[in-house]
Amino acid sequence: MLKATFAAGCFWSVELVFQREPGVQSTKVGYTGGIKENPTYKEVCTGKTEHAEAVEVEYDPKVVSYERLLEIFWHKHDPTTVNRQGGDIGTQYRSAIFYHNERQRELAEKTKAEQQAQLGKTVVTQIVPAQIFYVAEEYHQKYLEKGGQCSAKGCKDAIRCYG
């Protein structure tokens, strides 16, 4: 199994879209890219910890490629907005790819350039080395699935995010 880590706004819906992908073995929501050890959700929401809400994906590369995971990431959010996705505003909602090896970095850079050309706007997604990933509180894990949304592999139901 390999790991991939993505930040694309509120981690609840990002987690659900990856849960649905065949080849994804597990997902965890949490915080990464910041300066405080073991931050809480409340602390991350202040913006002072500098963490992003992120999803750590464990996947089987024999079933799903990193390129496919990047495709899901790019289509899940608006990579042209700084520290914002929809009504969620703050540094914790930034767009970022946390790469775990050089190949992931290369593919992230390549697809970012493709997105920028396709969108005709500046893509603000950060591409940075993976850092310590702090798993979020249990109540955040599989939040939308627990709320009754479909997490089955291949499910195409619309994802509804709510607080």
Q: Which of the following is catalytic: 10, 45, 150, 155?
A: 10
Query: Strand 126-129's sheet: what is its strand order?
Result: 126-129, 95-99, 2-8, 52-59, 24-32, 134-135
10 is catalytic: yes
In this prediction, residue 86 carries a pLDDT of 87
* Residue with token string 């914002």: 84
Residue range 8-52, pLDDT digits in tens? 999 999 999 999 999 999 999 999 999 999 999 999 999 999 999
User: What is the model's pLDDT at position 163?
Assistant: 52
pLDDT value of residue 87: 87
pLDDT < 70 regions, the chain: 162-163
Residue 162: the pLDDT is 66
Q: For the purposes of burial, counting CB atoms within 10 Å of the CB of 62, is it exposed (0-12), middle (13-18) or buried (19 or more)?
A: exposed
Query: pTM for the complete prediction?
Result: 0.96
